[in-house]
Amino acid sequence: MSSSDLDPTDAVRWRLDLAYDGAAFAGFAPQPGRETVVGALGEAIARYLRLDEPPFIVGAGRTDAGVHAFAQVISLDLARSSVDEAGIASMLRSINHQLRGRVVVREARAIPGFHARFDATWRGYRYLVAPGPSLAATNALAWPVEGALDLAAMNDAAALVLGVHDFRAFCKRPPDKTADEPLVRHVYEARWRTARDELALGVAGEYLVFWIRANAFCHNQVRRLVGSLVAVGRGTLTLAHFEAHLAAGVAEGLPSPAPASGLALCAVGYDERHGGPSGRSM
């Protein structure tokens, strides 16, 4: 059976919460000839259910190559006759075994009419910076930044993005948008803090953690913001210039985006009838 042959009267809408290692894939969304999260997950489901083709999968948001997720949410339709509430645990064990830690499906719930993208009210991302030199193993999850950083200045700049803004200066232009079209997003939270390295994973003994939560994000928005916020912390970009770029929607002259490896999708907001939030705010 293929997803296009699915009888609507036999279809069950599932919400799956999952985590994945972004370094293992060329991004979340399907891409011809490249392995992606959706591609690997869909193939694993198809093998377990003996489907002719993978099911159609909708995600709460798309992540780029190298970006991790600890609380991504997807929705998909499966035949009631092929898997039910009793059999879903067996399917999840099979999926997790097949994908061997590159993707981990944490939870599955049947929610009629649920749509992972359109029912999401916000998304939350965390970015990790490792101060000073760091081990290669740490670099897979955090951006090593040497030299002093002014955390207060970085938070002053982060506060400027709160509220509703046109983020053209900090977004990669979508192919269907012209240069003069605004890319408006509503940012609810944006802040830096230090976190002690309780597990002694790094060299410096602490990390700098950036948390940002918004109704939605455009392509590369968080990484470009982080690159500029770190430049403010280094003193190579002034607060006034950061604010001017944001107001003008001009990217020219801003630093390069921060590396993908430090970024992770950590929470997605849903109301209780859609299962409540995934992950947690930070």
Q: Which residues does the annotation mark as catalytic?
A: 64
For 191, other C-beta atoms within 10 Å of its C-beta total 15
Tokens of 84: 């039910």
> Residues near 82 by Cβ (< 8 Å), separated by ≥ 6?
1, 49
Give dist(CA 267, CA 278) in Å, integer: 5
Is 116 within 8 Å of 270 (Cβ atoms)? no
Is 67 within 8 Å of 264 (Cβ atoms)? yes
Pairing of strands 263-269, 68-79: parallel
Long-range contacts, stretch 137-142, CB < 8 angstroms, 24+ apart: 137/201, 138/201, 138/202, 138/203, 139/261, 140/23, 140/261, 141/68, 141/261, 141/262, 141/264, 142/202, 142/207, 142/261, 142/262
Pairing of strands 143-145, 122-131: parallel
Tokens of 128: 């990790």
- Measured in whole angstroms, how far is the alpha carbon of residue 106 from the centre of its chain? 16
